[in-house]
Structure 1
Amino acid sequence: MDIEQARFNMVEQQIRTWEVLDQSVLDLLLAVKREDFVPTAYRALAFVDMEIPLGEGQTMMAPKLEARLIQDLALKAHERVLEIGTGSGYLTALLAKRTAKVASIEYFESLATSAAARIAVAGIDNVEITVGDAAQSPANFVDATQTFDVIVFTGSLPVLPTVYLNHLAVGGRLFAVVGDAPAMKATLFTKTRENTTTEQALFETVLPPLINAEQPSRFTF
């Protein structure tokens, strides 16, 4: 396989056609070696429009979803990012290349270890990965008053844990795929001022759920 041609085809045929037109985002996807973050057994599928198995029952997002996420967040060089679900580390690397600092929390130690190694090989040094369960709250991992400019959930959520909005700085954005399959929407939450957050549905998609995600209250009769 011609790796560079496959990477170019991914950008031109999958990502551009999914309304990712920001040239700086396209350049980022060409620069960060996606194949280096894919398990060896699936390396030949690194640029295919699919979710790639990572082990532990987890998967890597399809390339077009990663690209839209990066574009829609409109990341800035000075920003601090909190990522819930490190996975392969590829999205972590993309976030780190565009921002000042990424704190990433991964449920599975095996995935955290392999992601950290891949990120180090890529020469990225502004990422801190912690192992633990932050699906419903980051309380065990960040100070109560600590805020981030960007928060990203890499697994879907039936409902967004509102405690995370307390950790979003004014002007900050939170990306999450919210809902139950098959009715899920990629959603951008923006904190316009203290105690005020807007919500924008970006597109419909389906994403595997985050482990131990908060469940909505269900009425019983």
Structure 2
Amino acid sequence: MVDNQIIARGISDPRVIDAMLQVPRELFVPEAARALAYSDQPLAIGEGQTISQPYIVALMIEAAAIGPEDHVLEIGAGSGYAAAVMGRIARTVHAVERLPALARAAGERMRALGIDNVTIIAADGTRGWRAHAPYDAILVPAAAAALPPELPDQLAPRGRLVLPLGPASQQRLIRLTRREDGGLAEADLGDVRFVPLIAADG
């Protein structure tokens, strides 16, 4: 998977590559789908949600330029796979998941794997998670029609926010970086396709 889907497509950050090699993806998909765990596709994980294809996970983490001292927020933890990968790189990861069953299962996986710097929170993350802000990186693996206005405010100076924006038919992966003057620098990372970002109240 790492050779053919990650490195061959241009992911070069050695920290991302090493983290992808460390985390057993098959433990983050339903048992019936484990034969496809390393395939080049998103997979259903229940509750109408998916685990992103491996390349997209690597792309978002590399785009966020996560380092070993970083404090990271993920909105939409799903099965916890991306949070686990980031946990192998970052100092701390807080991952918010609106569906309690998925959050509970993700937390159990972290404990089983001994990943103690990742905290899974069952809550509505569409407004971020101010309790532990500011963050060096925020990742949102679900598409919003427009930028959720409270997320940039939770970035630390030079912090990076990576998320897909747009309707289901025309999403773009965007990276916003907090400049020293408080403004945001934007980079367009290309076409993507994600499930929609949904608040807890629908």
Q: TM-score, normalised by structure 1?
A: 0.86
Q: How does 1:135-150 map to 2 (within 5 A)?
A: 135=126, 137-138=127-128, 141-143=129-131, 146-150=133-137
Q: Return the index of the structure with the highest Cα Rg.
A: 1
| 203-212 or 41-50: bigger deviation | 203-212
Pair 1:153-2:140 in alignment:
yes
Aligned position for 1:166: 153
1:186 pairs, out of 173, 194, 199, with 173
Q: What is the correspondence of 1:20-39 to structure 2 with a 5 Å cutoff?
A: 20-39=11-30
Tell me the residue number matched to 1:5: none
Q: Distance in 2 between matches of 1:186 and 1:75?
A: 17
The C-alpha deviation readout for 1:54-88, integer Å capped at 9, x for no partner, is: 11100000001001112121111111111111101
Answer whether contact 2:168 2:196 (CA < 8 A) is retained.
Answer: no
Higher relative contact order (CA closer than 8 Å, sequence separation 6+): 2
Number of residue pairs the alignment of both structures matches: 200
Instruction: Give, in angstroms, the shift of residue 194 of structure 1.
Output: 4.3
The reply to whether residue 197 of structure 1 matches residue 197 of structure 2 is: no
In angstroms, what is the RMSD of aligned CA positions? Answer: 1.5
Identity %: 35
- Distance, in Å, in 2 between the alignment partners of 1:190 and 1:149 is 10
For normalisation by structure 2, the TM-score amounts to 0.94
Superposition deviation, residue 193 in structure 1: 2.0
Task: Detail structure 1 runs of 4+ shifted over 3 Å in the superposition.
Answer: none
Q: Does 1:84 align with 2:75?
A: yes
Report if the CA contact (8 A) 2:162-2:173 is conserved. yes
Q: Is it true that 1:74 corresponds to 2:65 in the alignment?
A: yes
